[in-house]
Amino acid sequence: MMTQVHDVYPTRLEDKRAAFERLDPVVWSDEPARSKGPLSRDQVDFYERNGYLFFDSFFSPEEVKPFLDDLEDYGQDPNLKSRDQVIIEPYADEIRSIFGIHELSPRFDRLTRDPRLLGMARQLLDSDVYIHQSRINYKPGFTGNGFNWHSDFETWHSEDGMPRMRCFSLSILLTENNQYNGPLMLLPGSHRWFVPTHGRTPEENWKASLKNQTLGVPAADNLQAMSENAGLVSPTGPAGSVILFECNTLHASANNLSPWPRSNLFFVYNSVENRLEAPYCGTRPRPEFIATRSSVRPLQPVTNPTTVRVAEPA
Amino acid sequence: MMTQVHDVYPTRLEDKRAAFERLDPVVWSDEPARSKGPLSRDQVDFYERNGYLFFDSFFSPEEVKPFLDDLEDYGQDPNLKSRDQVIIEPYADEIRSIFGIHELSPRFDRLTRDPRLLGMARQLLDSDVYIHQSRINYKPGFTGNGFNWHSDFETWHSEDGMPRMRCFSLSILLTENNQYNGPLMLLPGSHRWFVPTHGRTPEENWKASLKNQTLGVPAADNLQAMSENAGLVSPTGPAGSVILFECNTLHASANNLSPWPRSNLFFVYNSVENRLEAPYCGTRPRPEFIATRSSVRPLQPVTNPTTVRVAEPA
């Protein structure tokens, strides 16, 4: 017997539905936790209002260099390239994304547990957190294709069964992001609205959507209306800078025609109170490397997260 | 009997050839004509060195508004859309470009004969000039596709039979060009090199290339090497601003994911001493609306070029 689930964020339907105000807080903690840090009161207010924060040079270039070196090594590894968790560019034989990077590499795993990052997560989401998804987007020079407008939550809700908006992404810039190499564009304030998208989701949609997204893209009139308030923003800065954005903030990025790769690391922090259910769009769950379903472990901070301890010889 | 033509700028061949220094001057006039104006000495020197000039707000927004209105009317005209000179976007049913715009519209024709623009043309090319090509690129919001790296001269030489580099493009911004809507990117200094590209040109290549260019795109290592000197530039500014760039300056632009159309008008001024010959790549000549071959008329300046005289009733 089918269980009838009431879906508070219906999307991917055959009829077109209007956008509506989100049902969840943006900042989950109340005072005094809200003002406890590490984010300042202004930063928390800015995030609540705009749906993102930018930290220029959060890490030093020296700290992120080993991650970029790893990424280049992965790019040369022919065995890796054939795995499902590695997505190839639609118009070039180059790596577009590697998913589940924190499971592949102890170095990346340790970085997810940086005490400052976990502190921000606790302040904003008011609970322990775990990694819902991790990935690298390579966006190689000349051939890197862009990403169409979308809310991550809209996908994670419909295709992964994430119940509520209690989650954010943290993007760590591994190369300089500048105006030429297809930096992230955000629609400030868009996180306050849920924009249902149109069209049924087929099984294994991710095999197409992670190359070139068409389903789950808001209609042009919705995007137009939301851009009339605050326009667009596109944080740029050196390697080591960090962009934190709410799971429902609409974002996109253009293709990279510059000679410079735009390689960014993404960690998605989800509240342990917001674990995945069955996908709301009725498809089978996506693979574990795209959406953590079984191995939910509250993250514990580590000291010196960007310093890898060399394993002792046996 | 075939006539053997010595081609000083060989390209579109089956073997890969190295880039070499251009054989033509960038600024064709000598003193005193070179310093006669309307461009200042600094502007002429800058153009010679970098291959482009930018004029913020050259025209006022009021002056260019009627051109934008015309362009919007053309976009609504179903008869126009079916013509060969109208190019449709590769991924959307929207107009990408209209060619031969100065032949379609007396308003655009008059604008080509702005005395200030003709003065620049005479100063840089040292002769009378005519319009080799005119077009509008619409680049609509959300769906406007980009343009891959290319030298216009490389195409005009191989596919149209333009003998030498004695020509430039003038792009008039009809909408604001900003960092979000896929502005023109230029490779400063690239005009000083001829970069042969690789691969034979098929007949009617323009039907594909004007939607999405693949032939005539320099190799990544050439682009990389040339960007190491002066990086990239991307002039942005309000409607009415003007970008002038040499026919051999490498340029490109990303797709437009913003809500704002990036609609620019292009006039290509060629020296009357540089009239087209047979295409060097051996194909049939492209249509007259892409490359003026028969109706070469030295342009005569008009007064008040942005003011259209209303035709008198018969």
How many A×B Cβ pairs under 8 Å?
59
Q: Do B180 and A232 touch (CB under 8 A)?
A: yes
Q: pLDDT over 90 for what percent of chain B?
A: 79
**Does residue B200 or residue B242 have the better pLDDT?**
B242
Tell me the CA distances in angstroms from A298 to A117, A118, A244, B212, one per residue in order. 13, 10, 20, 48
pLDDT in tens, A62-116: 999 999 999 889 988 888 888 999 998 888 888 899 999 999 889 999 999 999 9
Which residues of chain A make contact with B232, given a CB cutoff of 8 A?
180, 258
pLDDT in tens, A148-160: 999 999 999 999 9
What pLDDT is stored for residue B312 in this prediction?
A: 44
Domain ranges of chain B: 20-274
Of B142, B179, B254, the CB nearest to A220: B142
Residue B268 scores a pLDDT above 60: yes
Q: Which of A142, A148, A254 shows the shortest C-beta gap to B223? A: A142
Q: Residues with Cβ < 8 Å from A224, sequence gap 6 or more?
A: B141, B259
Judged by CB atoms closer than 8 Å, whether chains meet at A254 and B256 is answered as yes
Q: Which of A139-153, A260-274, A297-311, B240-254 has the lowest mean pLDDT?
A: A297-311
A195 or B76, greater pLDDT: A195
Nearest CA in chain A to B181: A254
Q: A278-312: per-residue pLDDT in tens?
A: 999 999 999 999 999 998 999 999 988 887 554 44
- What is the spatial distance between Cα B151 and Cα B153, in angstroms, rounded to a whole number? 5
Structure tokens at B18: 């190295």
Residues of chain B found within 8 Å of residue A252, distances taken between Cβ atoms: 257
- Chain A environment of B146 (Cβ under 8 Å): 254-255, 257
**pLDDT, mean of residues B91-105:** 89
Query: Nearest chain A Cα to B261, which residue?
Result: A224
Q: Which among A141, A185, A259 is the nearest to B180, CB-wise?
A: A185
Average pLDDT estimate for A6-18: 92
Extended strands (E) in chain B = 20-21, 52-55, 86-88, 95-99, 129-137, 147-150, 167-173, 185-186, 193-194, 242-246, 251-253, 264-271
- Looking at this predicted complex, what is its ipTM? 0.90
Query: Which of A179, A223, A232 is facing B142, going by the closest CB pair?
Result: A223
Among B143, B180, B184, pick the best mutation site for testing chain A contact (most A Cβ within 10 A). Answer: B180
Q: What is the architecture, at CATH level 2, of domain A20-274?
A: Sandwich (2.60)
Question: Tokens for A298?
Answer: 């509250």
Least confident of A46-60, B97-111, B157-171: B97-111
- Name, in order, each residue with C-beta under 8 angstroms of A31's C-beta and a sequence gap of 6 or more: none
Query: What whole-number distance in Å separates Cα of residue A101 and Cα of residue A71?
Result: 10
State the pLDDT at residue A208. 84
Query: Average model confidence (pLDDT) for chain B?
Result: 92
In this predicted structure, what is the pLDDT of residue B314? 43
- Both structure tokens of A6: 């009431």
Residue B28 carries which side chain, given as an amino acid letter? W
Region of poorest pLDDT, from A199-213, B33-47, B109-123:
A199-213
Q: How many whole angstroms separate alpha carbon A188 and alpha carbon B151? A: 37
Q: Which two tokens stand for residue A134?
A: 């991790």
Mean pLDDT of A213-223: 91
* A229: confidence class by pLDDT, cuts 50, 70, 90: confident
pLDDT greater than 80 at residue B307: no
Query: Cα separation of B204 and B217, whole Å?
Result: 17
